[in-house]
Amino acid sequence: MKATKKMSLAMQIFIALILAIIAGLLMGNHADFANSYIKPFGTIFLNLIKFIVCPIVLFSIMCGIISMRDIKKVGSIGLKTVVYYLCTTAFAIVIGLAGGNLFKGMFPVIATTDLTYEASEATSFMDTIVNIFPSNFLSPIVNANMLQIIVMAILLGFAIILVGEKNKQVVSAFNDLNDIFMKCMEMILKLSPIGVFCLLCPVIASNGAAIIGSLAMVLLTAYICYFVHALVVYSITVKSLGGMNPVTFFKGMMPAIMFAFSSASSVGTLPLNLNCTEKLGADREVASFVLPLGATINMDGTAIYQGVCAIFIAACYGINLTLPQMMTIILTATLASIGTAGVPGAGMVMLAMVLTSVGLPVDGIALVAGVDRIFDMGRTTVNITGDACCSIIVSNLERKRTAR
């Protein structure tokens, strides 16, 4: 009974995705209609997801930590997670830079004389670090600042473990709250097929022509790199470290993958990702810690996009990036991915930081801004797949460690 239910949601999302593409292409000349009357329903759906995501991150990380009952265990999971995230992200940029260089000859050279791009205040690396720590108990939730919510959850989780037996009631109250928010999320997720349709259709209607337009080669390069990274890095690591057949992994991840592709939001996909990875066998305590963290700091797809775009923008300005410059990009893009929020368009803002680090004009972002959403759909898909892969791997490694 359960299996048919699961299949049906995945199938519904898939059908919605296909219908959105067909409807979007048919509506090519009426993009205004799609944007005025279809997109708002997508926005309502995203709003509901945003509404639920803060309590989900707070309670799932906190309850995940409490259920481990041991600060050392949290440390061990945290370390494995962060090492996996940083290594795969650095690898992703290398793939992005390699792909960019390989296909550079086929990139269009667009005149850069009239370009302007208003970069929002670039956050320096040190600012990013400082901003992780909340100065107010409520503001992280009010402003939906995920990194600060994670710090809060870790602090509270540790404190609850340290207070020990005395606080049984608090623990059970938090677990109950966690269950309630999860139920709420399940209810919202039932609407995902409608959400997927209403989010994707306007994007296709407004960008359909642009896809086949001048940036097709750059988009194609990014998508080839997304595929290579997902197929090579995730297949190999999920098999060797996670002990799972990659086909089973990708199959089980399909609902989350389709949702990420349509919504372009890692944070928005978090509830569905938790669902998929648990069904795939990730431990709840691990997934509820690893996934919210990943949705906030692990952005492999974004890193690939930044590598490809840096090469493309440099080429348009007639600049050839040197090896040291590429090394700098690897470093800054890895750090930038930590500061990138898991919401649509965030990666493009962080591209400014990457370009600046190697002296490329930030105005160049204007070259890719028009089709950012198309880049974003692919990079978000890679981002959440990387998070899921990590939760399977860490679950497996922890199981082995405790079995020893």
Nearer to ligand ASP, 281 or 294 (CB): 294
How many CB atoms within 10 Å of residue 201? 28
- Amino acid code (one letter) for 246: P
b (16+ CB within 10 A) / e for 5-43? eeeebbebbeebbeebbebbeebeeebeebbeebbebbe
- The verdict on 225 binding ligand ASP (CB under 6 A) reads no
- The verdict on 378 binding ligand ASP (CB under 6 A) reads no
Hunting for tokens 């086929």 — which residue is that? 106
- Amino acid code (one letter) for 256: A
Query: Which one of residues 145, 265, 296, 395 is an interface residue with ligand ASP (CB under 6 A)?
Result: 265
Query: Which one of residues 207, 357, 380, 385 is an interface residue with ligand ASP (CB under 6 A)?
Result: 380
Least separation in angstroms between CB 368 and ligand ASP: 12
**Total residues at interface with ligand ASP (CB under 6 A):** 16
Nearer to ligand ASP, 10 or 341 (CB): 341
Nearer to ligand ASP, 195 or 344 (CB): 344
How many CB atoms within 10 Å of residue 192? 26
- The verdict on 264 binding ligand ASP (CB under 6 A) reads yes
How many CB atoms within 10 Å of residue 217? 15
How many CB atoms within 10 Å of residue 209? 12
Applying the rule CB under 6 A, the residues between 122 and 151 that interact with ligand ASP are none
Candidates 21-29, 241-249, 261-269, 328-336; binding stretch for ligand ASP (CB under 6 A): 261-269
Applying the rule CB under 6 A, the residues between 292 and 311 that interact with ligand ASP are 299, 302
Least separation in angstroms between CB 340 and ligand ASP: 5
Least separation in angstroms between CB 199 and ligand ASP: 12
Three-state DSSP at 24 gives helix
Least separation in angstroms between CB 295 and ligand ASP: 7
- The verdict on 100 binding ligand ASP (CB under 6 A) reads no
Least separation in angstroms between CB 108 and ligand ASP: 23
Nearer to ligand ASP, 278 or 300 (CB): 300
Residue 190 in tokens: 């039932």
- The verdict on 345 binding ligand ASP (CB under 6 A) reads yes
Nearer to ligand ASP, 161 or 299 (CB): 299
Residue 396 in tokens: 């497996």
How far is Cα 27 from Cα 21, in angstroms, rounded to an integer?
Answer: 10
Least separation in angstroms between CB 81 and ligand ASP: 17
- The verdict on 376 binding ligand ASP (CB under 6 A) reads yes
How far is Cα 185 from Cα 278, in angstroms, rounded to an integer?
Answer: 15
382, 267 contact by CB (below 8 A): no
Applying the rule CB under 6 A, the residues between 322 and 341 that interact with ligand ASP are 340
Candidates 171-179, 218-226, 260-268, 362-370; binding stretch for ligand ASP (CB under 6 A): 260-268
Three-state DSSP at 123 gives coil
- The verdict on 266 binding ligand ASP (CB under 6 A) reads yes
CA distances from 335 to 74, 81, 129, 299, 326 (A): 23, 16, 10, 10, 14
Burial of 166 (0-12, 13-18, 19+ CB in 10 A): exposed
- The verdict on 383 binding ligand ASP (CB under 6 A) reads yes
- The verdict on 287 binding ligand ASP (CB under 6 A) reads no
Hunting for tokens 């086949």 — which residue is that? 212
Measured from each CB, the residue nearest to ligand ASP is 347
User: Which of 326, 380, 311, 356 has the alpha carbon at shortest distance from 117?
Assistant: 356
Binding residues for ligand ASP, rule: CB under 6 A, are 264-266, 299, 302, 340, 342-347, 376, 379-380, 383
